Structure 1
Amino acid sequence: MKTVLITGANKGIGLETARQLAQQGYHVFIGSRDQASGQQAAEQLRAEGLAAVEAVQLDVRSDDSVQAARAAIGQKTVVLDALVNNAAITGGLPQTALGTSVAAFQDVFDTNLFGVARVTQAFIDLLRHSPEPRIVNVGSSGASLTLHSDPSWKYYNHKGAVYPASKAALHMYTIVLAYELRDTAFQVNAVDPGFTATDLNNHRGTGTVEDAAARIAKYVLTGPEGPTGKFISEEHNPITGEIPW
């Protein structure tokens, strides 16, 4: 049975991704900052008949928490087939370049970028044991520098200094990580789930968590022919999926 760790998987897109991958036969580790919330999510999925799920306390902002999660999962398996770096925060609104405090930047980056690096580095050894390892970093089309520089883009005026910057940095991390792993079986991609109605945006999104999770799960489930080092947003490019960084 293949294994996957999903961070921030106790609700929203993360939980639905856990559900869909469990339905595909994966053993799913539900990473959750709050252990009780993670347990509740796991119990919900088990009640749906998805037995191969378990909660792991995982605060991506904490070195100690990440290392404890690595030790706990390492006791369960020597192979991790996929990692979905889903945990993220927005930092609240408004987010102006001149008015947002540096502390706000640091808080968001600690989750959205540094947290991804912490988790990826901690679990890379288990991922290397998989014959077809997959890393999906949940990105955002709203962090595309190319699109945000185009006045004709429909979201051109929806600017934010903090969250999009953190995701743009995550995209660069994805590029470098894919490059470093280019001569291996790894596939590393940034995947935009789309503008989805979740707690992250106070349910202002127009898409469903089911569609968003399917976009993420697709790049966990890809075979050897799948892409790596790409920025995928099927909401914006339903034909090939790829959009500019």
Structure 2
Amino acid sequence: MNESTTQQVAMITGANKGIGRATAEQLAGLGMTVLIGARDRQRGEKAAAELRAAGADAHAVALDVTDPAVVRGTAKWVEERFGHLDVLVNNAGITGSGQVSPQDAHDQLPSGIDLDMVRAVFETNVFGVITVINAMLPLLRRSPAPRVVNVSSHAGSLTLTSDPDGPFAALLPSAAYTPSKTALNALTVQYANELRKDGILVNAVAPGYVDTDSNNHTGHLTPAQGAAVVVRLATLGADGPTAGFFGADGPLPW
């Protein structure tokens, strides 16, 4: 049976740890019901239980973004339980090599890349986002203020990464992770353009160099700090931007 349609519901993929979990915590702190998407059901349940212990209305959903049948099943569950979805945060992502820091990214150099790695990274970081958005769109359309936030990276900016004297000059070239985030940015614009007329705001965000598993916890930002820009874009007013790419300090160059 559907719960009250006045309750705002947010789904975050890859939310059992890191930026995703911090995003869930902050959205729950704003009074939203949060759905903790995680490939590993046990980890998702553990994260949701910990959030509930802190007073949040949190629920775990087993969600492998690369499995369309699982994603459709999750959408059906959300419809049956809540009837709608207000916020979708596409946070789930992989680096391919396990690392994105310059010193550990040699296996992503274009000249020696394993194409299977590229396919796997795009399967999660790009195709998985398409799968999830399309499955959740009917539920988002039932919201009075639907918001979609795609978690990208500064590395996805062609402007920033092509500058030999810029802040990313030390970042080793990548044929997998970095291009997947550039593709995600392009995809964000296309969804925003299609859904603009429906009042669905779609934006990409770069949380910054956050202390997470993907960089061996070398990031200088906490997950909570990285999640702040995600939450800001997830709670935009009706006059908020769409088809944008944002960091903590504002718009970023494509």
TM-score bucket of the superposed structures, by smaller chain: over 0.9
- Number of residues of Structure 1 aligned to a counterpart in Structure 2: 239
Cα distance in structure 2, aligned partners of 1:97 and 1:149: 15
What is the TM-score normalised by the length of structure 1? 0.95
Q: Which runs of 4+ in 1 moved over 6 A?
A: none
Q: Shift in Å at residue 184 of structure 1?
A: 2.1
Equivalent residue of 1:98, what SS? helix
Q: Which AA in structure 2 matches 1:69?
A: T
Higher helix share: 2
Q: CA deviation at 1:157?
A: 2.8
User: Partner amino acid for 1:243?
Assistant: L
Matches within 5 A, 1:78-157: 78-92=83-97, 93-94=105-106, 95-157=108-170
The equivalent residue for 2:43 is: 37
CA offsets, 1:160-201, max 9 Å, x none?
221011010000100100011121211100011111010121
Aligned to 1:201: 215
Query: TM-score normalized by structure 2?
Result: 0.92
Where 1:49 maps in the other structure, the secondary structure is: coil
Q: Which amino acid aligns with 1:46?
A: R
1:66 to 42, 61, 71: 71
Structure 1 distance, partners of 2:174, 2:32, is: 36
Question: 3-state SS of the aligned residue for 1:67?
Answer: helix
Residue correspondence of structure 1 range 141-180 to structure 2 within 5 A: 141-158=154-171, 159-180=173-194
Identity of aligned residues (%): 44
Q: Is the 8 A contact 2:160 2:167 kept in 1?
A: no
- Cα deviation, residue 243, structure 1: 1.1
Partner residue in 1 for 2:3 = none
Q: Distance in 2 between matches of 1:228 and 1:244?
A: 15
In the alignment, the residues of structure 2 paired with residue 182 and residue 39 of structure 1 have an alpha-carbon distance, to the nearest angstrom, of 35
Secondary structure, counterpart of 1:157 in structure 2: coil
1:242 aligns with 2:248: no
Structure 1 gaps, min length 5: none
1:203 positional shift: 0.7
Deviation (angstroms), 1:210? 0.9
Task: For structure 2, list consecutive stretches of 5 or more residues without a partner in the other structure.
Answer: 1-6, 98-104
Shift of 1:75: 1.1
SS state at 2:111 partner: coil
SS at match of 1:22: helix
